[in-house]
């Protein structure tokens, strides 16, 4: 179980999380939606312990991530797999070396066996004959798939997705959604995805939470969210520039004039 | 008058802020050094990564070091010979070249070359890894980035700088020999005799201690600059420049203090 309890996080004068609370049960697929710069990525980075809260608590399976000793933190990270927004593939390594990276670092298996596993994981994300390519030779969608294969290579219990469909064409995006759903069914993982793509949220989520002004303002099933009457939620899911959420960098007057 | 005082106050304040910034940065570099030393002592030892970095930092720097050392040795011999001739001490050229190369020029020039070549590459590579989230990815894959990225670079710096320095010493002395003996037609026997008579082993190993220090400093400073890069491509550029400037300055400033301690 993943728990964020009243988490506060600021960067200089920018208060990103102001009492964020979130509970994700084992086996659940949660999507956190919210605008650009609302602190969604910061939530993921807190869960995996790359960032520490200024105040509040983040626990994974009842272990306080911020208070763990370095060694224990690295141990608990073995439970995680994370897909980054831009895939974050290691550009000095080939595709299979990327996918098999963790396995090779653990030093338990021979390179030939690792390659075999990597090829198998790549097949799972729908990629064949790419294992010897370098990341620079791949398209955006392929990079995300390789990133996904790398994230699942060590068979994690928890998968974190940072904007899995952002920057992809609608068809590739949907293929990634399908992949996430099938991974969920096949691997029975707990997952947290952050996105502002509503199509994707409805498809991959068991439940959706909305992050607004540093707090989770609502949580519900995709159907509940779709039929919400909350004005903030409605504006976000319908993608309107007019409403209680102000468009970043645009003054109110102009927003009103556009209406 | 009030304005003048205000401006004076503001200048003092900005100077203080810069002072605080320098102190903070020095502190953070030391913290990274401590983390690196700690990770260095914990298994697994990642020998392959260390060799890869030794190749990058050391072996690939050899051509530049050779060219720099040979011409430095040559010009040093040229200047010393013509200068010393004025008071009839041209037989001492071998001694001067050997002592300067081993005590000073070998380690310092090698340090400056490596900081410009390998230090810049380290900062740029780690900086790019930071801004493209590759370092975050390492952490989520439960790989300690300090151990995986910085330890091999640090060890490579510690080992390869003295090695390159020895190379520079020898090549520089050969360059000096070439100018003194071949171009100025002096006795080869005298050159070598003067070189070996006055050169002490302390000159060589103290020079290598300095080189070792420079190697560690270049690696840690450049890794630090790269590791904590922020702000996209521009940030990587700044980190790279910062790495070269700070490690060069560190080499030149620490050289004086190390020399006064080791040779004083």
Containing domain of residue B56, as a range?
46-262
Q: What pLDDT, on the 0 to 100 scale, is given for residue B111?
A: 96
pLDDT tens track for B113-161: 999 999 999 999 999 999 999 999 999 998 899 999 999 999 999 999 9
* B18 in a structural domain: no
Q: How many independent structural domains does chain B possess?
A: 1
Q: How far is B9 from chain A (nearest CA, A)?
A: 25
Determine the straight-line distance between the first and last CA of chain B, rounded to whole angstroms.
50
In a domain, residue B237? The reply is yes
- pLDDT tier for residue B165 given thresholds of 50, 70 and 90: very high
**Cα A208-A211-A216 angle, rounded to 5 deg:** 80
Task: Answer whether residue B210 is part of any domain.
Answer: yes
Instruction: Tell whether B14 is covered by a domain.
Output: no
Q: State yes or no: pLDDT of A254 exceeds 60.
A: no
Q: How much of chain A exceeds pLDDT 90, in percent? A: 19
In a domain, B163, yes or no: yes
Asked whether residue B17 is assigned to any structural domain, the reply reads no
Q: Where are the beta strands (DSSP E) in chain A?
A: 2-11, 14-24, 29-33, 55-60, 63-64, 80-83, 158-162, 190-195, 207-212, 215-220
Cβ atoms of B223 and B121 within 8 Å: the answer is: no
Instruction: Kindly list the residues from chain A whose CB atom is less than 8 angstroms away from the CB atom of residue B140.
Output: 48, 50, 77, 80-82, 160
CA distance A48 to chain B (A): 7
Q: How far is A232 from chain B (nearest CA, A)?
A: 31
**Bridge partners (DSSP) listed for residue A192:** A30, A160
User: Least CA distance to B128: which residue of chain A?
Assistant: A91
Chain A contact present for B140, CB below 8 A: yes
**pLDDT tens digits, residue range B203-224?**
898 999 999 999 999 999 999 9
Beta strand ranges found along A178-242 (DSSP E): 190-195, 207-212, 215-220
* Residue-wise pLDDT tens digits, A80-133: 999 998 889 998 899 999 999 988 888 778 888 999 999 998 988 888 888 899
- State how beta strands A207-212 and A215-220 pair: antiparallel
Partners of residue B141 in chain A, C-beta under 8 Å: 77, 101-102, 105, 150, 154
> In the predicted model, is pLDDT for residue B51 greater than 60?
yes
User: For residue A252, is pLDDT > 70?
Assistant: no
């Amino acid at each position: 179980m993943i728990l964020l309890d009243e988490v506060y996080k600021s960067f200089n004068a920018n208060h990103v999380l102001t009492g964020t609370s979130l509970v994700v049960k084992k086996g659940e697929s949660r999507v956190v939606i919210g605008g650009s710069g609302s602190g969604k990525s910061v939530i993921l980075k807190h869960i995996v312990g790359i960032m520490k809260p200024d105040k509040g608590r983040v626990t994974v399976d009842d272990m306080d991530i911020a208070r763990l000793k370095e060694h224990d933190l690295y141990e608990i990270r073995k439970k995680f797999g994370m897909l980054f927004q831009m895939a974050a593939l290691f550009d000095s390594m080939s595709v299979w070396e990327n996918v098999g990276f963790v396995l090779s670092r653990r030093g338990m298996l021979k390179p030939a066996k690792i390659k075999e596993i990597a090829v198998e994981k790549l097949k799972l994300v729908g990629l064949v004959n790419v294992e010897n390519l370098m990341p620079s030779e791949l398209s955006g969608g392929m990079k995300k798939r390789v990133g996904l294969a790398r994230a699942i290579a060590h068979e994690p219990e928890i998968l974190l997705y940072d904007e899995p469909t952002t920057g992809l064409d609608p068809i590739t995006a949907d293929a990634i959604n399908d992949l996430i759903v099938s991974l969920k069914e096949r691997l029975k993982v707990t997952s947290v995805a952050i996105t502002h793509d509503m199509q994707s949220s409805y498809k991959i989520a068991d439940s959706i939470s909305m992050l607004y002004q540093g707090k989770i303002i609502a949580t519900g099933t995709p159907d509940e969210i779709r039929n919400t009457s909350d004005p903030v939620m409605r504006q976000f899911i319908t993608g309107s520039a007019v409403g209680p959420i102000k468009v970043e960098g645009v003054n109110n007057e102009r927003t009103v004039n556009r209406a | 008058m009030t304005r003048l005082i205000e401006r004076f106050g503001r200048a003092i304040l900005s100077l203080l802020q810069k002072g605080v910034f320098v102190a903070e940065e020095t502190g953070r570099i030391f913290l990274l050094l401590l983390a690196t030393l700690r990770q260095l002592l914990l298994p697994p030892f990642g020998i392959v990564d260390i060799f890869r970095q030794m190749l990058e930092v050391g072996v690939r720097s050899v051509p530049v070091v050779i060219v720099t050392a040979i011409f430095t040795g040559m010009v040093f011999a040229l200047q010393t010979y013509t200068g010393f001739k004025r008071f009839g001490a041209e037989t001492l050229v071998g001694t001067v070249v050997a002592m300067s190369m081993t005590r000073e020029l070998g380690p310092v020039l090698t340090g400056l070359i490596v900081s410009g070549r390998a230090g810049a590459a380290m900062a740029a590579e780690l900086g790019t890894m930071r801004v493209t989230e590759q370092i975050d990815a390492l952490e989520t894959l439960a790989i300690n980035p300090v151990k995986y990225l910085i330890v091999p670079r640090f060890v490579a710096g510690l080992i390869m700088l003295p090695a390159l320095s020895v190379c520079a010493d020898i090549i520089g002395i050969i360059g000096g020999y070439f100018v003194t003996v071949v171009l100025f037609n002096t006795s080869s026997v005298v050159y070598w005799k003067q070189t070996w008579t006055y050169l002490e082993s302390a000159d060589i190993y103290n020079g290598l201690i300095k080189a070792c220090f420079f190697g560690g400093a270049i690696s840690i400073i450049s890794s630090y600059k790269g590791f904590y890069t922020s702000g996209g491509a521009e940030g990587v550029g700044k980190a790279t420049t910062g790495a070269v400037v700070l490690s060069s300055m560190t080499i030149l400033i620490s050289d004086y203090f190390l020399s006064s301690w080791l040779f004083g």
